[in-house]
Structure 1
């Protein structure tokens, strides 16, 4: 079973460094996940992120 043409999977990625499309996709996905977790935490606790860590 081979991956669909044009679709990159983690198995066929070489070790690359720098601003590659693969790294930027994962960076964006993790940033979106962090943003959603931050908003959900604010909604559940009623405090902003800065208040939660004691800066306000």
Structure 2
């Protein structure tokens, strides 16, 4: 046993590291896709708050 106790969720997905970068339809790739989608969503919200709203211009919500 190492100096740090192991977390039960560390290898909860198919017996390998859940933060490993794997391609295809694996639980690891789904985690990374979700993380990247959250980063993209926050980036768009910051872009929108800065005044460069593409969606508002497209839908003409604010005149």
Under TM normalisation by the shorter chain, which class is it?
Answer: 0.5 to 0.7
Higher helix share: 1
The normalised TM-score by structure 2 is 0.54
Larger Rg: 2
Name the counterpart of 2:53.
Answer: 48
Structure 2, unmatched stretches of 5+, are: 58-63
Count of residue correspondences? 47
| Unaligned ranges ≥5, structure 1 | 52-56
TM-score when scaled to structure 1? 0.59
